[in-house]
Structures are given as C-alpha cells and as structure tokens.
Amino acid sequence: MTIDWITTPVSEDAPAGPDLMETVDPAFDDYYFNAVGRLPEAQDYVRIGMKPEGGHATPDRIFDPKSVKLAAELKTIDALLQRSRDLRLLTLRTQWAVLAGDLETAVDSVTAMADLLEAMPEEAHPVIDGDTRDRLEAINDLQQMGAMILPLRYLDLLATGTSLRRIMVVRGEATAHDGEHDLDEADMMANLLDQGEELESLRDQVQGFLDALTRITAACEGHSTRHSPQLSGVANELTRILTVIGEAEPSLSGAPAPAAAPSGDRPEGDAPPRPAAGATETVQVAVRPATEVTSHEDAKNRLIAVETYFRRKEPSSATLLLVTQSRLLIGKSLIDAFDTLMPSVADQAKVHFRPESGFQLAHDKLRDLADQAGSESLPDPEPEEDDGKDPPIPAPPPPRITNATEAGNQIKVVEAYFRAVEKSSPIPMLLARAHAYVGKDFETLMKEFIPKQD
C-alpha cells in the first residue's frame, strides 16, 4: 500500500492540512493515542521465562508479528494522512510495518517521511515554530527499542529462520532463548543464499531504509532551524543486517556506500567520507559487537566502561545516572534495592505468610537479614596440587567504548545477563530505561523528568 501522494498538497492554503493533534480532532485522538499505547516496550517484546529449580517453568515469549493487523492499521493511518501530512503518523506507520515483519511497507513509510521533509520542510506536522522539540520527538521515535530496534533484530529474513538476533546468538553476542541452543550459522547462511534474487531484493530494501534515514537527517540539518535527529541505533541494526546478507552472498556486500554517522554520534576528529558522484550517502556507525557477559565482575567492568564514555563525552546524559545506579546495586540485597529505588514506601516492605498464622518478616527484620547475609561462609577449599586442569578464566578486560552505539550495546548485554542470572534484580529495569535515554536531547528529557503542571 504505497503513499506516493504524501507530497501532494492537501489544499492550496494549507499544503500539509491542519495539525490534527493541535485541533483536538476526535478521529486522530481516538486512534493515535490508542495506537501509541499498544506499541510494545522492550520488556513486552521479549519476556524471559522463569525456570525455577523443581518448579513449573514458563517459556521465553517473543512478540508475534502475526498479532499485528497491519492492513487495519494502515487503513486508519492513511485516512488520517490524507487529511494531515504528519510525521508522527508516518513514524507510527513505519513501526507497525516493522512489528508485522513487513519490511517493504516499512521502507515505503520511512521513505515517505524523507519525501515529506524535503517537499514541505516548513509545513509538515509537527511544524517548527522556533521549537524543534515536537518534530525531533516524532522522528526520534524511529529509535524505540520495542517498536523498532528489536523487531529489526528479530526479523525473520525472507522466512528462512535466519535473523540478525540468531546470528548474534551463534557468535556469542546474545543469550540464546528457548529453542535457540542448536542453531547452526552455516545452515542459516545457506538458507539465505538459497533465496537467490530475493536476497538481492532484501538487500535493496534494507539499503533503501538506510538511504531514507540519511535523507531525513539531511533535511533536518538543512532546515532553517537546524536540528539533528538521533537515528544511529536503527541505522546500526540495518547495517548489521546488510553485513549478514553480504556474508551469505559476498557479491552483495559491496553495494552499500561507505557511510557517515548521524551528527552527534560521530567520534571526535572523524569527518564524514564524501560519497562518490551520484551516490547516496548512507547512515552507518562502525560498531564493535558486544560479546556475552561472563560474570558479575565482567558486568560491573562493562558498566564502568560505559560510565567512563558518557562522563568524558556526554556528562549531562541521563543514561549515565542510571548506569551508575545499576553498577552500585550489583551485589546488593533486595532490601537495598527497595531502600534505594522506593525510599518513600520501602519501610512498608514485608514478607507475609499464611494470614491466620500472623507470621511476617517486616522491613526492619529484612534489613537485619540483609546485613547478616554472608556473615557465615564456608572456608575456601585448600589449594590442590597441579591436577592438569586449566586455571579459572579471569574476567575479560573492560571494553573500549568509542561511540554512543557501542555504549548502548554494552548496556543491552549487561541487561540481558542480569535478566538471565538474577531475575530478582532491578538492574535490568534500570538498564532498559538507561538505554532508552541514549541520544535523547535536553528538551525531550525535560518533558519526561519534569511533567507539565496542570
């Protein structure tokens, strides 16, 4: 369902039509806010199952693309777009398409965003009237973890069972879900190669998505009120998919042009390469893959590396605050977490037993137990004579982080580690929010940290 009419003026007097959000249009409000509320957060897209010893195990649950009624979503969105040329609706259109696993429609949608920004830079909604916040927020929603990044990572490429996520699993960059322990990289690459011309079409679609992101960034930075969207996260996922395609069929690996990072994500001193004449510059970030976490000590070192990067390069980042808090909670008790994160109600925490018994462990007792935990321990075993076994493997050295995307990748692998090995920890929740804050500008953070007063 193409929308090549997106740059056709709605009327001579108002090329983009009215801003339906500002005019409090019932049809817009009923659909848009409901639809945004239905988009999955990261923790909704992937739910890690519980596997208690001796108890009933629950499986890992991954968002099902078939649950998206894409035709119905597009019908409603396009009817609203016919009345109002709105970037918020185009972002939503892109998100639903990616969630449904329909890459072709997603590319059509994000290309329409680029077309609209180039054709109606002043009129497209939300308009820029001295304040770029609303427009940037509409565009930056293309970076949502649950509605864009993860769906691309889990995208089943040409229905072959191969995805970027599964390639990451076999390479030790991600933790396997249920059913992912017997994956074979050679088989997955062969399945892609068997697709022939369809694989080239897939490459072209992914490249088209990247090209549209480049045009969006260029249109924003070329606006009379210059503004820079943060799109490196989604660009990175697409670039890694292109890499997988090129590894399956080397003849397809040379198509993407060398690329520049979006402004704000480029390491200091690096200038964007100039594209060849007639070539389309592509949004791309050089990113080293984040390997799987091996221990709590390894996790702590990775968070320290992330803190070091943000403290040096982006000391005002909200991500820095939450990463630091996460590190400080490593090795802490549940009651420490309550006291830190819920100070106003932590003293109400208690463990109840059967009501008729009256038994309970109140906060003070829980605090005492937390303080005493570990006060008794077994002695370290006597060192044995050399038995020929390999010595314990020490924690790997902290990673060297050179850009925000690499920092975000380290945050995600540490989050996944604690979700797998310490489910009662609040660290995954904190790190998920920390990752969501990567790349957000001051105005966006201000709206989130300090709600408007009625």
Write out pLDDT tens, residues 426-436: 998 899 888 88
**Cis, bond preceding 451 (omega within 30 deg of 0):** no
Q: Is 62 helix (H, G, I), strand (E, B) or coil?
A: strand
**Is the pTM of the predicted complex or chain greater than 0.85?**
no
Q: What is the mean pLDDT of the chain?
A: 83
Q: Quick: pLDDT tens for 92-132.
A: 999 999 999 999 999 999 999 999 999 999 999 999 988 88
Q: 454 vs 55, 91, 444, 451, CA distance in Å?
A: 48, 28, 19, 9
CB-hemisphere CA count at 13 Å for 425? 23
Cα 118 → chain centroid: 27
Tokens of 137: 């927020």
Give all strands (DSSP E) within 288-426, no chain letters.
351-352, 360-361
Distance CA 187, CA 198 (A): 18
pLDDT digits (tens, 9 = 90+) for 232-274: 889 999 999 999 999 999 999 754 443 444 444 433 333 333 3
Strand 360-361, strand 61-62: pairing: unpaired
Collect all residues with Cβ–Cβ distance below 8 Å to 77 and sequence separation of at least 6: 31, 89, 92, 93, 96
The pLDDT of residue 289 is above 70: no
Is 20 buried (19+), middle (13-18) or exposed (0-12) by CB count in 10 A?
A: buried
Phi, psi of 49 (to 5 degrees): -70, 165
**Between the CA of residue 160 and those of 79, 192, 303, 451, what are the distances in Å?**
34, 7, 36, 45
Amino acid at 331: G
For tokens 């918020």, the residue is 88
pLDDT score for 447: 75
What whole-number distance in Å separates Cα of residue 210 and Cα of residue 231? 10
State the number of CA atoms in the 13 A half-sphere of 172 facing the CB. 4
Task: Report, in angstroms and rounded to the nearest whole number, the Rg of the chain calculated over CA atoms.
Answer: 25
N-terminal to C-terminal alpha carbon distance within the chain? 41
Q: How confident is the model at residue 53 (pLDDT cuts 50, 70, 90)?
A: low
